Every structure is written in C-alpha cells, then in structure tokens.
Chains A and B, each alone.
Chain A
Amino acid sequence: MATAATTAARPAGRRAEAFSLGPFLLVPASLLVVAFLAAPLVVLFRYSFNRYSPREFMIDAFTLENYARFFTDAYFIGVLATTVQVAAVCTLVSLLFAYPLAYLMARTESRWKSALVIAVVFPLMVGNVVRAAGWMAVLGNEGIVNHLMLSLGIVSQPVRLMYTPFAVYVGIIAVVLPYMILTLQSVIEGIGRDVEEAAANLGAGPMTTFRRVLLPLSLPGVIAGGTLVFILCMNAYATPVLLGGPQFKMMAPALYDQFTRTTNWPFGAALAFILMTSTLVLTIVGTTVLSRRMHHRKLEAAPR
C-alpha cells in the first residue's frame, strides 16, 4: 500500500517510463530458465512416452508402457519404497535432532550466536561429496568407529557399517540437519518468549510447555522444514551411491543408471516424472495431514 502511494506521488512522465521499461528486466533470467530448464523438461516428458528398442535405441511413439512397466516391476516398486522409507525416517529423525539445537539457537543471547548460525550453514556449503568422503573414513572397516569398538573390546571383528542402509541413513541425516535446524530456528525466534513464561507461571513444567505451547506454535516451521528435508531426501544421489554401495538403490541413482548403463531413455524419463510426482503427492498429503491437525487442535482449544 505504501508503495502504491509513493508511486502515485511521482511525476507522471517518469512513472510511465518506469512502467514501460521495468518488466523487461525480467527477460534475460526468464529466457535462461525457460530455455535450459522448462524446455528440457518438456523434451524429457515427451520422451517418456516413446518406445525403447535395444537396436534402434528410441522409437517415436505415444505409449504409456514405460509408466506401466514401473508399476508392474517389483524391483522398481521396491526402489521407490526404499526411497520413501529413507526419506520418511530421515525427515523424522532430523526433526527430533534438530529441534533442541534450533531452540537453543533461537533463544540464546550469546554474542556467539551469529558464529553458531554460520557454523551450521558451513557443512551444508561444503558439498555432499566431501561429506560422504568423511563418513567413509568414519564408518569403513578400518574407520574410527570400528577402531574404537575394537580397542574398547565391544566387538572382536570389525562390524560392516559401510555399504549398508545404516550408513545411508547417517549420511543423509547429516546432510539435511542444517536445513531443518535453520528453518526451525527462524520460526521459534518468532514465538515470543513471554508465551513460554506465561505457561511456566501458570504451573506448566518444561515438558508440558513444550507439548502444549511451543510445539503447536512452531508447527508451521515443522511443516516447512519437514517438506524441504523430505524433498531433499527423496532426491538424494551422492550419499546413497557412495555410502550405500551398488546393492542399495534409491530413485535418483536408479534414474541415472537408465541414462548411463542401460541407455533406456524413455524409461529413465518416466522414472524422472514418477519421482517428481510421488514427491509432490507425498509432500501435499503430509502437509495437509499436519496442518489439519493444527487446525483441529485450535478448534479444540477455543471453547475452553
């Protein structure tokens, strides 16, 4: 509203000039996104209806057989199930782990606060490949975890940790935690401290305050962080490839294999759209369930 008022106050001539030229500033960026993201996606989508032939590579067609193959092939259904399971577990665990740190970071008045924020952002910035390399050194047969367990006499043989689902869970949770922490932190910062104090003064213990006041109020942050992290987990590539080994297949590596190993483009294209659609559907379902619960709780609380 304030903007409208100031614009109106300007001389008419200048305003007209600004209006005619301004939107054209969008042209370069929009062209780049249309030409190198939208157009390639359209091409890939079209290819997903083509027919694959080992001899002729790809035949122009309009068939749904690639999508049908996915839903009738137990192997690929299994890959999607693994992906969804990994994403769901990692989202929940990272939520549980992130909350305490996010809370302390939101509430601290220490002068180290900005250093803490940067320290959380930093691992996120060094890249997934670098972090996977670190986990390989930690979890390998000669890694630090096995070394510690052997020297403490907990085990007598090195335990296989690398190339297991466990390693993938650890790796992915470490990758997504910073996103969850930062999202939760910004939402908790927006919740007034006085609300917590009011609850405490009315006799609520810390657990009750958390469950009845803090958690419901921070639910938007939980939803936002959960959505972001779930999407990242569904699309994980480097971590499952490097820490899970060839036996452990998630959607993103399976999709990549279709283009490099089997060169079945139509099926690979179908995988890409199945991955994006299932992520979208699951995110919408999860968000709706959570926000309905939030709404429900509000109604429940109102008459009291």
Chain B
Amino acid sequence: MTTRALEAARNGAAAAPATGHARMKRRAGRWALRGLAGLVFFFIFIPVIFVLWISLFQQQIVSFPPEGYTLRWYENAFARSEFRHGFGLSLQVAFIAMVIGVTSGAAGAYAIVRFRFPGREAFNTLLLGPLVVPGIVAGTSLYVYYIMVENLLDVDFRGTLHGLVLGHILLTIPWTVRLVSASLVGLDRAVEEAAMNLGAGPWTTFRRITLPMMRPGLVAASLFSFIQSFENLELTLLLVGPGRTTLPVAMLNYLEFRIDPTIAAVASVQIVLIGALMLITDRFVKLSRIV
C-alpha cells in the first residue's frame, strides 16, 4: 500500500516538469507499449486458442465460420487406437521417467550443493548436459546406440517401454538438478543445526527438516519433468516402434496428412491435462517464483 502511494507520488513528481504536450506524448507511448505487449501475448496464445476452438467444430473439414458445435470429435479421437494407446504410453513413460529422474536428480543436486569434493563442477555440468544436446541429436545417437547394444546383448530396446523411459530420464534430470539446487541453495542451514542440537539424528533431521524444506523444489521438478517427458517429440521419434507410439509422435504422424477436429480434440486433451497439472501444482508451490 505505502509503496504504491510512494510510487504514485514519485511518478507525479517525475511527470510534473513535463509540459502538457510531452505528457500526452508519453501517455500515448505508454499505451502503444501496452498494446504491443498485449498483441505479443495474444500471438503466443493463438495456436492454443484455435486448437481448442476447432476441436468443437461441427464440420469435419476445418473452415470458418463453424457450422455448429459438437463434442463428437473427442469420442472419435478416443476411438482411434493410436491416440488411446499413445496417450496411455505417454502417461506411463512420463510417470516412470519422472519418478526415476527426480529421485536420482534430487540426490545428485543434494550432493552438489551440500558437499565439497573434487570434480563437483564437472558433475554439475554433466547432469545439466542433456539440456545442451539438441533433442534430435540425442534421439538419433540413442537410436544407433540401442541397435548396437541390442546386437551385443540380445535385449530389445527400440520400441519398448524401458527403452523409452531410459531415454526420457535424460529430459528429467537437468530440470530436477536445476530446480532442486535452486531450492537447496536458498535453504537456511541454521534450522538443521538447531534440530541437531536438540538431539535429532542426521536421518531424523533430513526427514523432518531438510526434506520438507526441499518440497517446493521437488514438486516443481516433478511437474516440469513429467511435462518435458510427456510432450517430447524429437528424442522419442526414432525410439518408438510399431504399436508402441507416444502421443506426440502419433499426433505428428497424423498431422503430416491433415488437420481436422479429431486431431484438435487430441491436442486439446493434452492442453487441458498440462494446464490442469500446472494449476494444481501452483496451489502448492508458487510457479511464478520458480520459473
């Protein structure tokens, strides 16, 4: 409240020497700035809005204006096995990759932030490495690597659940290390010291003090890991197999031929799922403070 009043006073003071003409010009400039910002905001939302809108169109061939509205394309999308199975597989892969990636990544972040040992920086770089390698390069290298390992060991990797999960863990580790490290760095150690002084052992201190304080970082890491895996296309493209396709790959294959309300319905399901996850997470952890 006071800051805002102060702000207004300051702005007033700054604007006071300006003549009426200059003030008008400044005000016009401010509105132009706002208008431009609004347009940019609208621009990044256009694709999302249109996907949601055309998924409800009556007619099968997308044209404007709509002839009416219906929900039958959602039924149609669900009836297509590639989308139903793709959705299921994507959920499965994203969940398992999230659990493994967040657990191992959080442990790594804990070691990097809390301990001093030679090569600490190198380990940090290594764990953030998957962010630097382009998805398509990581995907093709995993593809040739899986074929090599398959020939050596006689175990299938391409087109299997474990093959996909092992690849997708790469997407989750760097996000986890970044978000959990950030939350650990800002953590007040005095609280842990206090617990120890009050007689808590290292394990109790970790479980009752450190872990709850790491919670925001862990929740955010889980959310971003899950989404990164769920929506991934590039890394996944070559690792899927016949009958085992993730949702984004199934959508890409369909979109290479046509855009219609059915695929828009599939995309809308993804939009709603991710939006819901973000909103639910935001209830527990303020996302705007993390990203």
Interface residues of A in 198-236 (CB under 8 A from B): 200-201, 205-206, 231, 234-235
At the interface with chain B, which of A60-68, A72-80, A134-142, A286-294? A134-142
Q: In the complex, are the beta carbons of B170 and A117 less than 8 A apart?
A: no
Total interface residues in chain B, CB < 8 Å: 95
B47 at the interface (CB under 8 A from A): yes
Within 8 A of B (CB), among A120-161: 120-123, 125-138, 140, 142-144, 147-148
Contact A37 B189 (CB under 8 A): no
Measured in the bound complex, the distance between the Cα atoms of B103 and A156 in whole Å is 59
B264: A residues at CB distance < 8 A: 133, 137
Q: Is B200 an interface residue (CB 8 A)?
A: no
Q: How far is the CA of A9 from the CA of B193 in the complex (A)?
A: 10
Give CA–CA (A23, B107) in the complex, Å.
9
The answer to the question of A282 belonging to the interface, with a C-beta cut-off of 8 Å to chain B, is no
Question: Contact: A33 with B126, CB < 8 Å?
Answer: yes
Residues in A neighbouring B275, C-beta threshold 8 A: 122, 126
A261 shortest CB reach to chain B, Å: 12
Say if the beta carbon of A43 comes within 8 Å of chain B.
yes
Chain B nearest CB from A45 CB (Å) reads: 8
8 Å CB contact of A29 from B64, B105, B282:
B105
Binary contact track A166-192/B, C-beta < 8 Å → 1, others 0: 000000001001100110000000000
The answer to whether B64 touches A144 (Cβ under 8 A) is yes
Chain A residues with Cβ under 8 A from B210's Cβ?
none
Q: A6-B193, A30-B127, A182-B291 are in contact. Are A174 and B144 (CB under 8 A)?
A: no
In the complex, are the beta carbons of A29 and B40 less than 8 A apart?
A: no
The complex places the Cα of A43 from the Cα of B270 at a distance, in Å, of: 35
Q: Which of B40, B64, B278 contacts A177 (CB 8 A)?
A: B40
Residues facing A in B53-84 (CB within 8 A) are: 54, 61-65
Bound-complex Cα distance A17 to B148 (A) = 41
Measured between beta carbons, the chain A residues less than 8 angstroms from B182 are none
A92 at interface by CB-CB < 8 Å:
no
Q: By the criterion CB–CB under 8 Å, are B288 and A134 in contact?
A: no
Tell yes or no: A28 within 8 A of B by CB.
yes
A143 to B117 alpha-carbon distance, docked (Å): 59
Distance in Å from the Cβ of A240 to the closest Cβ of chain B?
11
A88 at the interface (CB under 8 A from B): no
Q: B28 CB to closest chain A CB, in angstroms?
A: 11
In the assembled complex, B195 has its CB within 8 A of some CB on chain A: no
Contact B48 A134 (CB under 8 A): yes
Q: Which residues of the partner chain B approach A103 to less than 8 Å between Cβ atoms?
A: 33, 37
Residue of A nearest to B201 (CB): A14
Q: How large is the interface on A (under 10, 10 to 19, 20 to 34, 35 or more residues)?
A: 35 or more
Taking CB atoms, residues of chain B closer than 8 Å to A29 are 104-105, 107-108, 127, 173, 177
A52 at the interface (CB under 8 A from B): no
User: What residues on B are CB-neighbors of A28 within 8 Å?
Assistant: 103-104, 107-108
Closest B residue to A258 by CB, please name it: B140
Assess the A129–B48 pair: CB atoms within 8 A: no
Neighbouring B residues of A279 by C-beta, 8 Å:
134
Q: Which residues of A contact B127 (CB under 8 A)?
A: 26, 29-30, 33
Complexed CA–CA distance, A19 and B111 (Å): 10
Whether A36 lies near B166 (C-beta < 8 A) is yes
Within 8 A of A (CB), among B162-189: 166-167, 169-170, 173, 177, 189
B205 to chain A minimum Cβ distance, whole angstroms, is 11
Name the CB-closest residue of A to B29. Answer: A206
CB neighbours (8 Å) of B89 from chain A are none
Interface pair B51/A134, CB less than 8 Å apart: yes
Report the Cα distance A23→B40, complex, angstroms: 46
Cβ of A59 within 8 Å of any chain B Cβ, yes or no, is no
Q: Considering the chains assembled together, what is the distance between the CA atoms of A125 and B47 in angstroms?
A: 13
Inside 8 A of A302's CB, which chain B residues have their CB? none
Contact status A14-B287, CB under 8 Å: no
CA distance A237 to B141 in the complex (A): 16
Q: Given A129-B251, A138-B47, A201-B14, A40–B142 Cβ distance below 8 Å?
A: yes
Closest-CB distance, B110 to chain A (whole angstroms): 6
Contacts of B36 in A (CB 8 A): 97, 100-101
Of B65, B112, B237, B251, the contact of A130 (CB 8 Å cutoff): B251
Are A133 and B255 within 8 A (Cβ)?
A: yes
8 A-B pairs with the lowest CB-CB distances in the bound complex, closest first: A134-B47, A127-B231, A114-B288, A40-B145, A22-B115, A235-B134, A40-B141, A29-B108
Extra A-B contacts (8), CB below 8 Å, given A44-B141, A148-B64: A25-B111, A37-B170, A118-B287, A122-B278, A123-B47, A126-B274, A129-B255, A147-B65
Binding site for B on A (CB under 8 A): 2-3, 6, 9, 14, 17-19, 22-26, 28-30, 32-34, 36-41, 43-44, 47, 97-98, 100-101, 103-104, 109, 113-115, 117-123, 125-138, 140, 142-144, 147-148, 174, 177-178, 181-182, 197, 200-201, 205-206, 231, 234-235, 237-238, 241-242, 252, 255-256, 259-260, 265, 268-269, 272, 275-276, 279
Return 23 A-B CB contacts under 8 Å, by A number.
Answer: A32-B170, A36-B170, A37-B133, A38-B129, A40-B141, A44-B141, A101-B40, A104-B37, A114-B288, A115-B288, A120-B41, A137-B62, A138-B47, A142-B61, A143-B64, A147-B65, A148-B64, A178-B44, A238-B233, A241-B252, A255-B136, A256-B140, A259-B144
